[in-house]
Chain A
Amino acid sequence: MSVELYFFQPLGTNSGRVFQALLEKGVDFVEHELSGRDFDHLQPEYLALNPKGQVPILVHDGAVLTEGMLINEYIDECFDGPPLRPEDPRARWTMRGWSRWAENDLGRCLMMINWNRVVPSFVGERSPKEMKHFIETRVPDPDRRRAWLSAFEQTTPPERLAESRRRVTAGAQRVEAHLREHRFVAGETFSLADIDLLNFCSFVIDWMPELVSAKDVPAWAEWRARMNERPAVKAMRARTNFDVPRPGRVPEAQDGPDNDAPAGQAG
């Protein structure tokens, strides 16, 4: 049996959710760490494995699996180890709804905001023209290509960014209300939805205090402190670069739509 994970960094968004699921489950796997800054994921070697150029993928006995949320259900179904989904069908429905929301709703709004902050500096040593050409010719998915371009050229409509900020603030209160009532996202047991809320959203407390600060969301902050005590999360944090991108510095390019990842994501 062989299990291989192609990922950006261990903690944060789609790479982080799968990395954590493998650690929580106790699966031995071969690591293929990609450099987003070098656009490893848009090189022919990687595109041969995943033509969409999205990260992560899991390669299990030669079969390539994409889509982090679905990889994680697969991991839970395939391997021995502690269950990462509740037994009760209704709790599973809760889990899936929150996983999707963490990724597609709150997570996407966070990404839009952060992505617009950091992408212009991704140009690094390239000329802006080269960078634009690279995006236009190398990002396979049209929707993501558009997101890259609008962030790079700073053409995302201000009202869309404002709406994302509004949704982040409202969404944080939804999380807070839920975690006041439940020890874990899907109820009484740790599940994939906790992994997703941690990896997609919980960095907001450190990163966007003007939108959500720890004092606004005490139950979320308490839950996050518990998550950070988990051995899997400790191991991931120890290996993750938390450098905050600042003007004049080049952040890691892995924090883009191809990882669904905002920059400098922390747990």
Chain B
Amino acid sequence: MRKVYHWEPNGANAQLLITLAEKGLAYESIFLDVLAGENHQPALTALNPGGELPVLVDNGHVFTQASYICEYLEEAYPKNPLMPVDAHGRWVVRGWLKYVDDYYASAMSDLAWEAGRAKVDPAALTAGAQSAPTPERQQVWREHRDPFPSDRLDMARDYVARGVQKLDDALENAPWLAGSTFGLADIALYAWTGYLPWAAPGAVTSNIAEWLERVGARDSVQLALQSGRADNAFAIAAPGPEHTRWG
């Protein structure tokens, strides 16, 4: 049996849940409430020591890191392809995924957190920092207790703005990010850009608004959104992925 451990269908959780739905792959959904620290419990850390979500268990094997899980699913289950067949087109798709993983996800996560910080009980953050299973994740939670320093927010806004520009440019002449067909790049970018109307409403361009609607109307996205508990998964945030450590 296939199992997916996930939180609200936003960010990396949405990336995996939408991909599974596009592939038509059935799974048992295990919802863990991140803001209640449920992903820090042994049931999950036994599978993924850092406690990050989502986690896939497929044929008894554990898979982490959404972008690589999605590529695994694409290779293990070729039906309903989500990547182009030519090497250059695949390089383009992987470039989008890497951009999300290197910069866009952590930057968007910071802006989403700032937008929703007031809704989170500070005690939950203290508890989360204590229960986080690794020093890395403890630090991430501690950093989320107080408002972010202005240079961190400036950097996040800058990276989101760059991502938005890339996205807008790509959508200027094509309906989807890899060209004529929907795929893993659209899914990864949607999973984080879904936050944009809430976290940085002024940044939404008409190309992006139309693409968000096109993606959001897909059956796979509708199905993935049903696996959450919040009214709007893109109006709730949790401490996100760590920033790339340059210096």
Chain A residues at the B interface, C-beta cutoff of 8 Å: 63, 65-67, 69-71, 73-74, 77-78, 89-90, 92-93, 96-97, 100, 104, 108-109, 112, 115-116, 142-144, 146-148, 150-151, 156, 160, 163-164, 166-167, 257
Q: Do A164 and B245 touch across chains, with their CB atoms under 8 A apart?
A: yes
A166 to B134, CA, bound (A): 13
B191-247 interface (Cβ within 8 A of A): 244-247
**Residues of B close to A104: CB separation below 8 A:** 102, 244
**Residues of A close to B61: CB separation below 8 A:** 90
B66-121 interface (Cβ within 8 A of A): 68-69, 71-72, 75-76, 87-88, 90-91, 94-95, 98, 101-103
Chain B residues at the A interface, C-beta cutoff of 8 Å: 61, 63-65, 68-69, 71-72, 75-76, 87-88, 90-91, 94-95, 98, 101-103, 135-136, 139, 155, 158-159, 244-247
Residue contacts A-B, CB under 8 angstroms, 13 given: A63-B88, A65-B91, A104-B244, A109-B245, A112-B245, A115-B247, A116-B247, A142-B155, A143-B244, A144-B246, A146-B247, A160-B245, A167-B136
User: What total of A-B pairs shows CB separation below 8 Å?
Assistant: 82
The distance from the CB of A58 to the nearest CB of chain B, in whole angstroms, is: 10
**Residues of A close to B136: CB separation below 8 A:** 167
Q: Do A143 and B87 touch across chains, with their CB atoms under 8 A apart?
A: no
> Taking each of A89, A116, A160, which has the highest tally of chain B beta carbons within 10 Å of its own beta carbon?
A89
Q: Do B247 and A89 touch across chains, with their CB atoms under 8 A apart?
A: no
Q: Do A142 and B76 touch across chains, with their CB atoms under 8 A apart?
A: no
A73 to B102, CA, bound (A): 18
A93 to B68, CA, bound (A): 6
Nearest first, the 4 closest Cβ-Cβ pairs linking A and B are A147-B247, A147-B246, A89-B75, A89-B76
A5 to B39, CA, bound (A): 44
| Chain B minimum-CB-distance residue to A156 | B247
A116 to B136, CA, bound (A): 22
Q: A89-B76, A93-B71, A143-B155 are in contact. Are A112 and B91 (CB under 8 A)?
A: no
**Residues of B close to A257: CB separation below 8 A:** 246-247
> Taking each of B87, B101, B135, B136, which has the highest tally of chain A beta carbons within 10 Å of its own beta carbon?
B87
| Chain A minimum-CB-distance residue to B64 | A97
20 further contact pairs, Cβ within 8 A, besides A70-B98, A73-B91: A65-B91, A69-B98, A70-B95, A74-B87, A77-B90, A89-B72, A89-B75, A90-B76, A92-B75, A97-B65, A108-B244, A109-B245, A112-B245, A115-B247, A143-B159, A143-B244, A143-B246, A146-B155, A156-B247, A257-B246
A51 to B13, CA, bound (A): 33
The distance from the CB of B79 to the nearest CB of chain A, in whole angstroms, is: 14
**Residues of B close to A163: CB separation below 8 A:** 139
